[in-house]
Amino acid sequence: MNETANITAIADRIGELDAIIRPLAKEREALAADLKARGAGRYAGDLWSCTVVEAERTTTDWRAVAERLGPSRQLITAHTTTTPVVTLRVTGL
């Protein structure tokens, strides 16, 4: 298989898989929401078991803290990092 045909096949397969996975993910989200609405506990089926755990998460709004303290641009730059990111966007033709 030549390189162009291989790339075409890969792109098409990714799109096909996304088309299959997307509705399944939506169904899973709806089912998970149903169990979560029932509250914390273990919910057993014939093949799988699901556990709902309720907890608290504490987060700090560091942007608000920084804005309140008014750090210098030099301080912000000294504690800022940039990392490369590769993204794949899939669209139908």
Where exactly are the structural domains of the chain?
3-78
Is the pTM higher than 0.75? The answer reads no
Cβ atoms of 49 and 42 within 8 Å: the answer is yes
Q: How do residues 28-75 score in pLDDT, each as one tens digit?
A: 999 999 999 999 999 999 999 999 999 999 999 998 998 899 999 999
Q: How do residues 9-33 score in pLDDT, each as one tens digit?
A: 999 999 999 999 999 999 999 999 9
